[in-house]
Structure 1
Amino acid sequence: MQNPWPPRDTTGRLGAVLKRAGEDWEAEEQLLRVAWYYYVDQLTQDEIARRLAVSRPSAGRLLERCRQSGIVSFTIGSDHFDAFKVGRKLKETFGLREALVPPALNGTNLDQSAINRRLARGGAQYLQNHLKPGEMLAMGWGETVQATVDLVAVDLMTRVSTVTLTGGVNAYVSTLRRVRGEAAEGCTDAVIPAPIVVSSSTLAEALRRENGVREVMELSHRSDHALVGIGAVTGQATLAQLGYVTDEELAVIAGAGAVGDILGIFYDENGEVVDLPIHDRRIGIGIDELRGIRNVIGVAGGSNKIAAVRGALRGGYLDVLVTNEEVARELLAAEGVTVD
Structure 2
Amino acid sequence: MLNWEERRLMVKVAKLYYFEGWTQAQIAKKNGVSRPVISKLLNAAKKEGIVEIYIKDETLQTVELEQKLEKKYNLKEVIVVSTAGYAPEMAKRQLGKSAASYIANNLNQVKSLGISWGTTLLSVVEEYPYERRSDIHIVPIVGGMGSNYVHLHSNQLAFHLAQKMNASCSYLYAPAMVENDDLKERLVNTKDIAHVLEEGRNVEMAVVGLGNPFKSSTMEKIGYLEEEDLLSLRKAGAVGDISSRFFDAVGNQIDHPLNNQVIGLNLEEIKNIPEVIGIVEGSYKLESIEAALIGGYLNVLITDDRTAQALVND
Q: TM-score range by the shorter chain?
A: 0.7 to 0.9
Alignment of 1:238-277 (within 5 A): 238-277=218-257
Deviates more, 1:307-316 or 1:145-154: 145-154
Q: Distance in 1 between matches of 2:172 and 2:159?
A: 16
The higher radius of gyration belongs to: 1
Cα offset, 1:159, TM superposition: 5.0
- The answer as to whether partners of 2:208 and 2:277 remain within 8 angstroms in 1 is yes
Deviations along 1:282-338, one digit per CA (max 9) or x if unpaired, are 10011111111100000011021000000000000000000111111111111xxxx
- The answer as to whether partners of 2:83 and 2:91 remain within 8 angstroms in 1 is no
- The answer as to whether partners of 1:82 and 1:88 remain within 8 angstroms in 2 is no
Partner of 2:154: 172
Q: Distance in 2 between matches of 1:160 and 1:241?
A: 33
Cα offset, 1:255, TM superposition: 2.5
In structure 2, do the counterparts of structure 1 residues 92 and 156 end up closer, same or farther at CA, with 3 Å as the change threshold?
farther
In structure 2, do the counterparts of structure 1 residues 182 and 233 end up closer, same or farther at CA, with 3 Å as the change threshold?
closer
- The answer as to whether partners of 2:143 and 2:155 remain within 8 angstroms in 1 is no
Cα offset, 1:77, TM superposition: 8.1
Cα offset, 1:248, TM superposition: 3.1
Partner of 2:92: 116
Letter aligned with residue 310 of structure 1? E
Cα offset, 1:42, TM superposition: 4.7
Cα offset, 1:160, TM superposition: 2.4
Letter aligned with residue 173 of structure 2? P
Q: Within the alignment, does 1:278 sit opposite 2:270 as a pair?
A: no
- The answer as to whether partners of 1:86 and 1:101 remain within 8 angstroms in 2 is yes
Q: With structure 2 as the length reference, what TM-score do the two structures score?
A: 0.75
Deviations along 1:35-57, one digit per CA (max 9) or x if unpaired, are xxx9xx956xxxxxxxxxxxxxx
In structure 2, do the counterparts of structure 1 residues 259 and 114 end up closer, same or farther at CA, with 3 Å as the change threshold?
farther
* SS of residue matched to 1:328: helix
Partner of 1:86: 65
* SS of residue matched to 2:81: coil
In structure 2, do the counterparts of structure 1 residues 134 and 308 end up closer, same or farther at CA, with 3 Å as the change threshold?
closer
Q: Within the alignment, does 1:237 sit opposite 2:213 as a pair?
A: no
- The answer as to whether partners of 2:212 and 2:285 remain within 8 angstroms in 1 is yes
- The answer as to whether partners of 1:259 and 1:268 remain within 8 angstroms in 2 is yes
Q: Distance in 1 between matches of 2:65 and 2:102?
A: 17
Letter aligned with residue 239 of structure 1? M
- The answer as to whether partners of 2:162 and 2:169 remain within 8 angstroms in 1 is no
Partner of 1:189: 169
* SS of residue matched to 1:232: coil
Deviations along 1:4-63, one digit per CA (max 9) or x if unpaired, are xxxxxxxxxxxxxxxxxxxxxxxxxxxxxxxxxx9xx956xxxxxxxxxxxxxxxxxxxx
Deviations along 1:48-104, one digit per CA (max 9) or x if unpaired, are xxxxxxxxxxxxxxxxxxxxxxxxx99758999997100111111100000000124
In structure 2, do the counterparts of structure 1 residues 299 and 157 end up closer, same or farther at CA, with 3 Å as the change threshold?
farther
Partner of 1:128: 104
Q: Distance in 2 between matches of 1:318 and 1:142?
A: 17
- The answer as to whether partners of 1:197 and 1:282 remain within 8 angstroms in 2 is yes
* SS of residue matched to 1:252: helix
In structure 2, do the counterparts of structure 1 residues 271 and 173 end up closer, same or farther at CA, with 3 Å as the change threshold?
closer
Alignment of 1:54-73 (within 5 A): none
Tell me how many residue pairs correspond in the alignment.
262
Computed over aligned residues only, the root mean square deviation of the Cα atoms, in angstroms, reads 2.9
Letter aligned with residue 264 of structure 2? G
Letter aligned with residue 153 of structure 1? P
Provide structure 1 residue ranges, at least 5 long, that are not aligned to the other structure: 1-37, 44-72, 335-340
Q: Distance in 1 between matches of 2:164 and 2:113?
A: 18
Q: Distance in 1 between matches of 2:82 and 2:57?
A: 14
In structure 2, do the counterparts of structure 1 residues 278 and 81 end up closer, same or farther at CA, with 3 Å as the change threshold?
farther
In structure 2, do the counterparts of structure 1 residues 142 and 249 end up closer, same or farther at CA, with 3 Å as the change threshold?
same
Alignment of 1:1-340 (within 5 A): 42=18, 84-105=63-84, 108=85, 110-111=87-88, 113-132=89-108, 135-156=111-132, 160-169=136-145, 170=150, 171-181=153-163, 184=166, 187-334=167-314
Q: Distance in 2 between matches of 1:264 and 1:182?
A: 26
Q: Distance in 1 between matches of 2:211 and 2:235?
A: 16
- The answer as to whether partners of 1:150 and 1:175 remain within 8 angstroms in 2 is no
Cα offset, 1:249, TM superposition: 1.3
- The answer as to whether partners of 2:110 and 2:204 remain within 8 angstroms in 1 is no
- The answer as to whether partners of 2:142 and 2:172 remain within 8 angstroms in 1 is yes
